[in-house]
Amino acid sequence: MTRDVVIIGGGVIGLAIAWELKLRGADVTVLCRDFATGASHAAAGMLAPDAENISNGAMLSLCWRSRALYGEWTRKVEEITGLNTGYWPCGILSPIFSQQEQSYTYLSPSSRESPAFWLDAEVIKQYQPGLSEDVVGGWWYPEDGQVDNQALTQALRTGAMTLGVEFKDGVKVEAIAQHQGKVAGLQTNLGLIQADHYVLATGAWANELLPIPVQPRKGQMLRVRVPESIAELPLTRVLFGQNIYIVPRRDRSIIIGATSENVGFTPHNTPAGIQNLLQGATRLYPALQNYNIEEFWWGFRPATPDELPILGASHCPNLTLATGHYRNGILLAPITGKLIADLISEEKTDPLLADFHYSRFQVQSSTTTQMLTHPANFTNGHHNHLSLSTSEETIPDSQLIIAGKAFKSRLMTGTGKYRSIEEMQRSVASSGCQIVTVAVRRVQTKAPGHEGLAEALDWQKIWMLPNTAGCQTAEEAIRVARLGREMAKLLGQEDNNFVKLEVIPDPKYLLPDPIGTLQAAEQLVKEGFAVLPYINADPMLAKRLEEVGTATVMPLAAPIGSGQGLKTLANIQIIIENAKVPVVVDAGIGAPSEAAQAMELGADALLINSAIALAQNPPAMAQAMKLAAIAGRLAYLAGRMPMKEYASPSSPLTGTISA
Ligand code: FAD
Ligand code: GLY
């Protein structure tokens, strides 16, 4: 067993690990630059896997397991310290305003392990008096709850000290010194600190020490207080609305949160941030407008590209990672402490840890041969500094972001035209794609090849892009887009608002209608969709669509299904030059060389279906397209040599010996 462990970071995650390791008999030291600046201090303390609508299966299991530990875990901390943690399994109410939101939330997941109950307008208002008149119903999540995160971190720290954990405050780790593949020590402002084992638990600051993709996501908060004139607590359960939550504490304070801002480590509260919070909160629970405001603050959530934490082993055998807990670090503290302590002290690896391993963001520096033999191994993972790597060189890349969602792969595929479902499944797998487009109408009517599609792909791993294929008018496309959103929700993608917009009136050439597409896009953007419009390669139309707020533009390279290649190259080039949203080249690509060429030009991504499905060996072609997309992207980033009119010798002529 590892006896001597140093934990970098004294937020709730570092503290929970210190606590569990100490209980298992290790010597533990916690180094922390500043205890009060972490997200753990700034949080709201909700224990809310259900209200937060977590859709990733492994993450949901992790959260549920942690929530189940909370009662006993806090009881033990309270017993040892005599301090209250404010743990309160009060349940969370999630009121809904509009009919539209309501129809979607009828699909809210409910399970035996964690039931959810729909309350209609009358019942919810009886259940929680004082809600806005505009509330039309809501979900009740009885298993969710809260803890007073500031009280909890204080109690955990006191408890850990009581058990014998050593705390070194004001110590900043400046670098992790590595030697022969192991951590040799930590360079700090107090000199070198060494141990048998190290844990990185520095929250949003993790990538100051290691190249792991953790970024700050700022949240602003405020606190009001229930006036003394009100005898009983008016709120006894958390209210969780759209972009707003209200967390009543037993001490009569009420936390209101939170913004979610991608502004790096920009400090301070802003008028816009606070205004949004006050507006959202008083709309949900109007009485708040007369309560005293006590405090404003902000904090930085540790966010990863897939919004899942990074837990477990690192590239060094004596360094363990525990960061990236994003919106749920308070909730996840007990399970993180347990799993990490089991791993370090007993070398016990819980199977769940596999889903949170840091390597999911790594590009394997594999050779092409390895990629060809093990296609599943080559995930061109990315983060802020995605790397595309050859066996020798690494080129930094940015991730493909569509409507705020990050994707590792730049190749999207479809499900149509395959000879069998099984062939489609193998092709999707070997394409390495993360986005698969699905024709909503064909799934709904169970058209040939579209039966069983819901079960055929793992929608926890693949992001569904519902498309409006078969729609001839804007009205039809809007209707089908709404159905598509429900379809994605039914498959567990609660937050999927993507739609590939196709308005195609002409059955012969299958050319999209620019006016109908623009009209439908405008409406769908207003309804909150992330619209990915399929268009002819028309730069002016692309610009207009971008202006109405579409998430991408998807110009066709040649008529759908024709495999004619890059017929519209010149126009696609203009679109790429001017677009501020991702340009996805769609339709017409027939061969990997064309896919690579489109990416070389600077397209952000490709959508390829027929060229894969109609190949003689679709899974092999899917793999070829994957490699072509990677090669093209790498070439684009590497920068092509300039073309010259005349030959230029490969070897320099200077310094040659003349006879
Ligand atoms: P932190 O608490 O940020 O701690 C990291 C610590 O490491 C800091 O103290 C920092 O000073 C220290 N450190 C960093 N770099 C170094 C270094 N080089 N050397 C030494 N020390 C260093 N989660 C929930 O579960 N429920 C909620 O309701 C909730 N609400 C939230 C609301 C807001 C506004 C925010 C910002 C977050 C919220 N969260 C919530 C998320 C949760 O707070 C975080 O996921 C969690 O606190 C992360 O804990 P941590 O210990 O990893 O990081
Ligand atoms: N979990 C609440 C937040 O991060 O704001």
Residue type, 19: W
Residue 171 confidence (pLDDT) above 80: yes
Question: What ranges do the domains of the chain cover?
Answer: 1-84+148-213+305-361, 362-398, 401-637
Catalytic residue among 489, 500, 567, 644: 500
Whether 1-84+148-213+305-361 shares its CATH topology with 401-637 is answered no
Residue with more model confidence, 518 or 372 = 518
Q: Inter-axis angle of helices 514-526 and 539-548, to 10 degrees?
A: 20
Coil, strand or helix: which one is 142?
Answer: coil
Which range in 175-184, 284-293, 414-423 is most confidently predicted, on average pLDDT? 284-293
Task: Report the C-alpha gap between 196 and 568 in whole angstroms.
Answer: 61
Percent of the chain exceeding pLDDT 70 equals 89
| Structure confidence by residue, pLDDT tens digits, 416-459 | 888 888 888 899 999 999 999 998 877 665 555 556 676 788 88
Ligand minimally distant from the alpha carbon of residue 149 = 1
Ligand closest in space to the Cα of 308: 1
Tokens 């692309």 belong to 542
Q: What is the CATH number of domain 401-637?
A: 3.20.20.70
Q: Which residues fall within 8 angstroms of residue 96, CB to CB, at 6 or more apart?
A: 102, 105, 135, 136, 137, 138, 139
CB of 432 within 6 A of ligand 1: the answer is no
Measured from the CA of 44, which atom of ligand 2 is nearest?
Answer: 2
Q: Is 327 in the pocket of ligand 2 (CB under 6 A)?
A: yes
pLDDT, mean of residues 406-411: 90
Tell me the average pLDDT of the chain. Answer: 88
Assess whether the C-beta atom of 10 lies below 6 angstroms from ligand 1: yes
Ligand 2 center from residue 286 Cα (angstroms): 22
Q: Does 276 count as an annotated binding residue? A: no
If one residue of 31, 33, 245 were mutated to test the ligand 1 pocket, choosing by the most ligand atoms within 8 A of its CB, it would be 33
- pTM for this structure? 0.63
Closest CA to 495 of 82, 199, 59: 59
**pLDDT bracket for residue 278 (50, 70, 90):** very high
Res. 408 pLDDT band, cuts 50 70 90:
confident
Going by alpha carbons, the residue nearest to atom 3 of ligand 2 is 327
Tell whether ligand 1 has an atom less than 6 A from the beta carbon of residue 11: yes
370 band by pLDDT with thresholds 50, 70 and 90? very low
Mean pLDDT of 29-45: 95
Q: What is the largest CA-CA distance in the chain?
A: 106
Is the distance from the beta carbon of residue 299 to the nearest atom of ligand 2 less than 6 Å? no
In this prediction, what percent of the chain has a pLDDT beyond 90? 68
Q: Ligand 2 centre from 302 Cα, in Å?
A: 11
Q: In what order do the strands lie in the sheet with 27-32?
A: 166-169, 27-32, 4-8, 197-200, 319-323, 310-313
In ligand 1, the atom with minimum distance to the C-alpha of 220 is: 34
Q: Which two tokens stand for residue 100?
A: 């539209």
CATH fold label, 1-84+148-213+305-361:
FAD/NAD(P)-binding domain (3.50.50)
pLDDT category, 406, cuts 50, 70, 90?
confident
Alpha carbons 221 and 238: distance in angstroms, whole number: 15
Q: CA 598 to CA 605: how far, in whole Å?
A: 9
- For residues 385-395, average pLDDT: 49
Query: What distances in angstroms separate CA 367 from CA 390, 391, 459, 651, one per listed residue?
Result: 7, 6, 30, 28
Per DSSP, the three-state class of 640 is: coil
Q: Which of 144-148, 602-606, 646-650 has the lowest mean pLDDT?
A: 646-650
For residue 125, indicate whether it is catalytic: no
103 confidence band (pLDDT: 50, 70, 90):
very low
Mutate to test the pocket of ligand 2, among 46, 54, 240 (most ligand atoms within 8 A of CB): 46
Q: Give the ligand at the shortest distance from the Cα of 220.
A: 1
pLDDT of residue 375: 27
**Is it the case that residue 66 has pLDDT exceeding 60?**
yes
